[in-house]
Amino acid sequence: MTNEFNVLPRSRMFELYSFLNKENQPAFKAVAVREIDIAKIEEIRSRTSHREKRPTYTSFVAKAAAQALMEIPEANRVAMRSLFAYRLIQFNKAHISIAVERDDADRNLKAAFIYTIYDTASKSLVEISKEINGLATAALDSDDIRLERWRRIKRGVKWVPLWLIKLAIFCHRHVPSLYIQNRGGAVLISSPSKYGVDFIVAQWPYPIGLSFGFAKDRPWVKGDRVVIKKTMTITMAFDRRILPGGPASRFMNRVCEILENDDD
């Protein structure tokens, strides 16, 4: 049986991410799912003649989420632990974070680092797209300031005792200014669409996790007819302690309404 498996070398990055995932509490999470018509998104994207300037789907979802957060402030919150109890922290701006898959976590592990688009609501679709373009492949040893958070994680995993990293993560999680600096805000966006996956229910250590699936033609009921439309599926995992079902549904529906109807 010695050829049936291999024991991989110890990975400090894996231990770090395992620690981070302890923040996910399934008992507190609920999920909403909705399929949307993306005709308006495709119309806006088609207006741009150069591919490199075309807004990405991620930029549309980030912009819609930011606008919805500003309209529904009870969604723009996080729960933090004080000395004796948890308390709610209200964010005044919409900082949208995105999960960026990297191949350079360590030799046996791919991992996602979190990049934050600060004050997302104030930025255009093109500005957002430009800001996040190439994050997955940018060289770590370049002067790209967008990778500074990932560089800190990599240096910490290599040189800092794991217990000290865990202490820093705890402080980042429960001190508002450090949370904003190191994590962003209430919403994180992820997507399996580049792999052709229709949708995924992704739970992240954030109050709200939005995910969108592969955009393609699907059957769509219009009146009493079935037509073919290009659609995508939006899923939202949310902390129901912070955002109960009613407000969560309003936030989810508002994000989808913006994506289907807004003309940035």
Buried/exposed 95-128: b ≥16 CB within 10 Å, e otherwise: bbbbbbebeebbeeeebbbbbbbbebbebebeeb
Residue 51's pLDDT is 57
Angle at 61 between CA 35 and CA 200, to 5 degrees: 50
In the chain (264 residues long), the average pLDDT of successive 10-residue segments reads 79 86 83 94 82 83 97 95 86 96 81 93 93 89 90 90 91 92 95 86 89 92 90 94 92 96 74
SS3 content of the chain, % helix, strand, coil (to 5): 40, 25, 35
Task: For domain 12-79+92-261, say whether CATH 3.30.559.10 is its number.
Answer: yes
Residue 256's pLDDT is 96
Residues in the chain: 264
Residue 124's pLDDT is 92
Domain boundaries, the chain: 12-79+92-261
The structure tokens listed for 16 are 């770090």
Side-chain half-sphere CA neighbours of 187 within 13 A: 34
Residue 264's pLDDT is 62
- Of the candidates 126, 68, 104, the residue with the CA atom closest to the CA atom of residue 264: 126
